[in-house]
Amino acid sequence: MLIAFLFNLFFIQIIFTTITSITYSCWTNSTCGCSLNSAILTKIIGGEEATMNSWGWAVSIRRRNNHICGGSLISSELILTAAHCLVSVKTLSSLSVTAGSNYLSIINQQRSVSEIFIHQNYDSMTYINDIAIIRLSSSFDMSDRSLAIICLPPSLLEYPSNDTTVIAIGWGVLSPTEKISSDTLQQVTLKIVANTISICYVLIHNENGQICAGVQGGGKDTCQGDSGGPLMMFSNKKWYIVGITSYGDGCALPLSPGVYTRVSIHYV
């Protein structure tokens, strides 16, 4: 009887694990879009802590050593981020970028900034063309396997397609009432919302250059401090950056998805 009970309990645990978590196994020979460890995401309400070294392209952009925005490694010396993170920067010496750690408080590699390139048509009122590139003063050491480069998407207008599952990551606040960024990298699973649906249409200002992502009923979203970080899609066993965290109306509210810069049609 006890053996039967334990077997049933074990079987239930297997089913529960299968239903509530997804492991994204990467093509390890890829030159981009694969980190040291596979990403594991659970189907829970809200975000969750990211698996260690599963998002090797995630970087923290810092101003006077304080985290201000996220970004993504697209080469050993180039960071893709949001324009609104950088428009107020007066001196490059105040900026630095850290990589290779899930924790803001633990610095693995850190570099100063030599140049910033903000999209020439960025509009600070509408956040249209909210995209920028940072060039580092020296390359990150990519022999450190905790670092990786994310893949850029194809240049297609409708990419990603509506209802695609996407992942957002960042060190932003864990609730809109908080003011301090999370020390631990967080991840959340979202869905692309069609820009023709009213909850997205009322938020965006350019249906080609901006996309919405969220979940029905709210509860999952990016928030302050996540700006500039990647919105990612898993395809062909590797990760592509399809969006850049831009803005939203509050955080994780019902009927209010987040707005992201569509990467596939932008050239900085």
| Digit-coded pLDDT (tens) for 62-73 | 999 999 999 999
Instruction: Read off the pTM.
Output: 0.87
pLDDT at 169 over 90: yes
Contacts of 185 (CB under 8 A, 6+ apart): 49, 50, 55, 58, 102, 103, 169, 170, 171
Q: Which residue has the higher pLDDT, 219 or 105?
A: 105
Which pLDDT tens digit goes with each residue over 86-125?
A: 999 999 999 999 999 999 999 999 999 999 999 999 999 9
Tokens of 23: 């492991």
Position 65 scores a pLDDT of 94
What CA dihedral angle connects 72, 74, 76 and 82, to 10 degrees?
Answer: -40
35, 72, 101, 130: the catalytic one is 130
Active-site choice (181, 227, 246, 264)? 227
How confident is residue 259, by pLDDT bands cut at 50, 70 and 90? very high
Nearest 5°: the CA angle 91, 92, 96 is 130
227 is catalytic: yes
Q: Which residue has the tokens 């960024």?
A: 181
- Average pLDDT of the residues in 138-155: 96
pLDDT band (50, 70, 90) for residue 155: confident
Neighbours of 42 (CB within 10 A): 12
Catalytic, out of 35, 84, 182, 246:
84
Of residues 213, 86, 230, the one with CA closest to residue 204: 213
Sign of the torsion formed by the C-alpha atoms of 228, 229, 234 and 240: positive
In the chain the domains, ranked by start, together with CATH numbers, are 58-136 (2.40.10.10), 165-262 (2.40.10.10)
Return the bridge partners of 170, or none: 186
Written as one letter, the residue type at 215 is V
User: Cα separation of 115 and 206, whole Å?
Assistant: 28
Nearest to 251 by CA among 195, 187, 174: 174
- DSSP state for residue 147 in the 8-state scheme: -
